[in-house]
Amino acid sequence: MFAYRIKPVFLFSLIVIFSLTQFPVNLSAEGNEAWESRDDRIEWWRDAKFGLFIHFGLYAIPAGEWNDKKVGWSEWLMNAAQIPVEEYETLLDQFNPVEFDADEWVNIAKSAGMKYLVVTTKHHDGFALFDSKVSDYDIKATPFNRDIISELAKACKKADIKFGLYYSILDWHHHDYLPRRDWESRSAEGADYEKYLEYMKGQLDELLENYDGVSILWFDGGWEGDWSQKRGVDLYRYLVEKNPDLIVNNRVGREEWMSKSALSVGPAGDFSTPELMLPAQGVDGYDWETCMTMNDSWGYNKDDHNWKLYPEMLEQLITIASTGGNFLLNVGPDAKGEIPEESIDRLSKIGEWLKVNGESIYGTKGVNLGSQEWGRATQRVLENGDTRLYLHVFNWPEDGKLVVENLKNDISNVFLLSDKDQKIGFTVFENSFPTLYLDSKAPDSVASVVVLDIKGRPLIANQIFHFLNSDSLELVLNETILDGKMVELLEVNEDIEKWSSPESSMRWNINFEKAGEYSISLVYSSHDWAAGEAFKVTLAGQVLEDRIKASPEVKAFDIGTVKIAEKGLYELELSPGITKPFTIPQPEKIIISKR
Ligand code: FHN
C-alpha cells in the first residue's frame, strides 16, 4: 500500500482550506467572482470548438481484461473487475510507455485541427500521471519515471495548443477517500474524507503551480459520497482566484451535470458537459461541450474494435458546432504510449476537412434554422452587422436545388467555401424560402459548405406544423419560442425552469386543414414538487387551464377541447399560470386530435 506523504504542504493546505471555507458559501451566481469573470476567461474556448480528450494511465496495461474478465470502459477495470488495491498496484512496476512522445501526441491533435487538449492527470484509480509530492502513488513509482504532464505542457506550449487537465474527485485508491466500493474488503477504519480533500487540494495546487499554461481543469467523478455542489462552488472560486485564466467544467460541482445532458451551468464551473450524446438542437446562451469516444472505451481497450467512421465523426463535429457546443473527442493511448492508428487515421481526415472548411466551425455560433433536409448551419456576425451562414450540406441535392427552409432574410451573396470564386445562383419568391442552385457534384464527399451572406441577423420563420391529412397532430417538442427567443429543448420530460415571467410562453404555428372540435392533451412526466402548478393552453381565442399532475412516468393528460370555426393557420400557446416558480412540465409532445 502506498503512503500519501502529507509533508510541509499539509500545513499550507490546511491554512488554505481554512481560508477557503471563509468564502461566504453562495450557491447562486451573484457575488461569485469566478462566475462574474467567466465571459472573459472562456472566450478563447468558445471559438476553439474542437479539442482532444486523452485517457491514459495504468489501465492501458491490462487494456480492459483482468483474470479473463473483460470490461467495456478499460479505465473502469479496477472497479468492474473488483481488483483489490494491493493487486492493482502491481501495475506500477509494469508502467513503462517507452514510445510516449509528447510532441507526437500534441501534433496529432494539431493536425486534426484541434485547438486544445485535456489529459487525465489522475483518473478514478488514483494513479497520478505526474510527479506529486503529496503522493507516492504516482509516475515516480514506475520504471518510466518521467513526468508525462510536464512533457505535455511543454509540447502544448510549443505547438500553441491550449493545455487542459482532467482530475477525478473520485479515488478508488486513497485510504481517506469515501465511500469504499461496495465489493471491497478494505477497511474504512480511520478514513477521513476531509484529509482526502486536503490531499486532493494539494495535488490541484501542484498541477496549477508546477505546470506551465494550464488553461482548463476538467473535473469528473463528483457524483458520490460527501462531495457537494457547495464544495464544488468553493473549489471553483478557489481555483479561478489562484489562476485567473483558468476555465473549469461543471463537473467540479455535483448536481448540475448529473443528468449528463444538463446544460445548466454555474455557479460551479464555466461550461456544461453532456457526454456521449448529441443534442437534437442547441440552446442559445449556454456554454457546453460534448465528450465522445472513437470506439466504445475511454481508456485503451485491446478488444474494442468498434471504431466510429470518419464521416460520422465529422458530422458530429458539425452538428455540435451548429448547436452551439464544443466537441472533446477522445483517444486512449496503449501501454507503450502510442495513440491507436485507427484514431490517428480519423483525426487526420477531420484535420484535412478543417484545413479547407475551418472558417465554418472556428469562432462561429450555432443557428437554429429548424430541421433541414440537407444538413446543419453555423453563423458568424460580419462587421457590418449582417450575417454569414455556413450551410454544411451532408445530403447534396441530386437536382442541385437546395431550399433553406424558414429563412426569411434578404440574401446578398452565395458561394462555395472551398471555391470562393464559384458563385451560386438563388431565387426567393414571395411567401417562399430561398432556393439555391448548386452544381450537380458535391465538392466534399461528407460535408460541403455553402456560404450564404444575409442581410441583418437571421430571421427564422416559426415552423408551421401540418396535420398532413391525418386527424391527429403530435407537436414533438424540438423547437419553439420561449420568452421571445427560439429555444431548442434538449431533453423531454425535464421541467422547464427557464420560464422567466408569467408572460413566458411556448408557441407553435399550426395549419388546421379542417374546421371542427379538437381535443388537446399533453404527454409528460413531472416531479412531485411541480404538482399543482397552474398552466394554460390558448388556441383560437379559447383558454384551457389545468394544473400539473405529478407523474414519474410519461403519461397523456387530457387538457380539454377547442373549437376551430374555420380552417387555417392558428397559434397554439402553452404558458405558465400565475403561480411561482413559473414551472411547467416540458411535454414530450402535445397531441391535437380531431374529435
Ligand atoms: O467515469 C468516467 C469515465 O471513465 C470517463 O472518464 C468519462 C469521460 O467523460 N467520465 C466518467 C463517466 O461519466
The rounded Å distance from CA 308 to ligand 1 centre is 18
The cell for 321 is: 458546432
Residues 6+ apart with CB under 8 A from 243: 208, 214
pLDDT tens profile 467-489: 755 688 877 554 444 444 444 44
The rounded Å distance from CA 115 to ligand 1 centre is 21
pTM tops 0.85, yes or no = no
The rounded Å distance from CA 396 to ligand 1 centre is 37
The rounded Å distance from CA 578 to ligand 1 centre is 42
What average pLDDT does the segment 372-399 reach? 94
The cell for 190 is: 480511520
DSSP element (H, E) containing 499:
none
Q: Is 48 in the pocket of ligand 1 (CB under 6 A)?
A: no
The cell for 195 is: 484529509
> How far is C-alpha 34 from the geometric centre of its chain's CA atoms?
21
* Residue that wins the pLDDT comparison between 511 and 483: 511
The rounded Å distance from CA 97 to ligand 1 centre is 22
Q: Is 73 in the pocket of ligand 1 (CB under 6 A)?
A: yes
Q: How far from 566 is each of 283, 464, 511, 515, 576, CA to CA, in Å?
A: 35, 17, 11, 5, 27
Q: Is 275 in the pocket of ligand 1 (CB under 6 A)?
A: yes
Per-residue b or e along 369-404, where b marks 16 or more CB atoms closer than 10 Å to that residue's CB: bbebebbbbbbbeeeeebbbbbbbbbebbeeeebeb
Among the residue ranges 175-179, 472-476, 508-512, the one predicted with the least confidence is 472-476
In this structure, which residue's CA is closest to atom 7 in ligand 1?
298
- 273 Cα nearest atom in ligand 1: 9
The rounded Å distance from CA 226 to ligand 1 centre is 19
- 260 Cα nearest atom in ligand 1: 13
In this structure, which residue's CA is closest to atom 6 in ligand 1?
298
Dist. CA 171–CA 174, nearest whole Å: 6
Pocket test for ligand 1, best of 76, 275, 330 (most atoms within 8 A of CB): 275
Among the residue ranges 138-147, 182-191, 355-364, 480-489, the one predicted with the least confidence is 480-489
* Residue that wins the pLDDT comparison between 87 and 5: 87
308 closest CA partner among 293, 294, 291: 294
The cell for 484 is: 421571445
- 123 Cα nearest atom in ligand 1: 6
Q: Is 588 in the pocket of ligand 1 (CB under 6 A)?
A: no
- pLDDT band for 534, please (50, 70, 90 cuts): confident
- pLDDT band for 588, please (50, 70, 90 cuts): low
The rounded Å distance from CA 343 to ligand 1 centre is 19
Q: What is the DSSP letter of 138?
A: B
496 closest CA partner among 477, 512, 470, 515: 477
Dist. CA 193–CA 204, nearest whole Å: 16
Residues 6+ apart with CB under 8 A from 580: none
Q: Is 291 in the pocket of ligand 1 (CB under 6 A)?
A: yes
31 C-beta neighbours (distance < 10 Å), count: 12
- Provide the H-helix boundaries in 165-309: 193-210, 229-242, 255-258
Q: What is the DSSP letter of 463?
A: P
- 76 Cα nearest atom in ligand 1: 4
The rounded Å distance from CA 64 to ligand 1 centre is 15
Among the residue ranges 151-165, 204-218, 239-253, 527-541, the one predicted with the least confidence is 527-541
What average pLDDT does the segment 110-123 reach? 98
Q: How far from 450 is each of 37, 374, 455, CA to CA, in Å?
A: 36, 11, 16
Q: Is 573 in the pocket of ligand 1 (CB under 6 A)?
A: no
Pocket test for ligand 1, best of 290, 298, 301, 327 (most atoms within 8 A of CB): 298
Q: How many percent of the chain have pLDDT more than 70?
A: 82
- pLDDT over threshold 80, residue 133: yes
574 closest CA partner among 553, 549, 550, 543: 543
Dist. CA 121–CA 167, nearest whole Å: 6
The rounded Å distance from CA 486 to ligand 1 centre is 32
Q: How many percent of the chain have pLDDT more than 90?
A: 63
What pLDDT is attached to residue 478?
A: 45
The rounded Å distance from CA 283 to ligand 1 centre is 24
Dist. CA 93–CA 496, nearest whole Å: 52
The rounded Å distance from CA 271 to ligand 1 centre is 16
The rounded Å distance from CA 376 to ligand 1 centre is 28
Q: Is 75 in the pocket of ligand 1 (CB under 6 A)?
A: yes
Q: Is 169 in the pocket of ligand 1 (CB under 6 A)?
A: no
Q: Is 405 in the pocket of ligand 1 (CB under 6 A)?
A: no
Q: Is 220 in the pocket of ligand 1 (CB under 6 A)?
A: yes
- pLDDT over threshold 50, residue 64: yes
- pLDDT band for 578, please (50, 70, 90 cuts): low
pLDDT tens profile 196-229: 999 999 999 999 999 999 999 999 999 999 999 8
The rounded Å distance from CA 327 to ligand 1 centre is 15
pLDDT tens profile 19-53: 222 233 345 566 678 888 888 999 999 999 999 99
Q: What is the residue-averaged pLDDT of the chain? A: 85
- pLDDT over threshold 60, residue 544: yes
Whether the link from the prior residue into 397 is cis, omega within 30° of 0, is no
Pocket test for ligand 1, best of 58, 73, 125 (most atoms within 8 A of CB): 73
How big is the CA angle at 505 (ends 499 and 511), to the nearest 5 degrees?
A: 150
Terminal-to-terminal C-alpha distance of the chain: 72
DSSP element (H, E) containing 502:
none
- 275 Cα nearest atom in ligand 1: 9
> What is the torsional sign of CA 244, 247, 251, 253?
positive
Quote the crossing angle between the two packed helices 193-210 and 9-20, to the nearest 10°.
100
- pLDDT over threshold 80, residue 258: no
What average pLDDT does the segment 325-351 reach? 98
Among the residue ranges 99-103, 326-330, 333-337, 455-459, the one predicted with the least confidence is 455-459
* Residue that wins the pLDDT comparison between 585 and 274: 274
The rounded Å distance from CA 220 to ligand 1 centre is 7
For the chain, give me the number of helices (H) and strands (E)?
Answer: 12, 29
Dist. CA 310–CA 480, nearest whole Å: 32
- 291 Cα nearest atom in ligand 1: 9
Whether the link from the prior residue into 24 is cis, omega within 30° of 0, is no
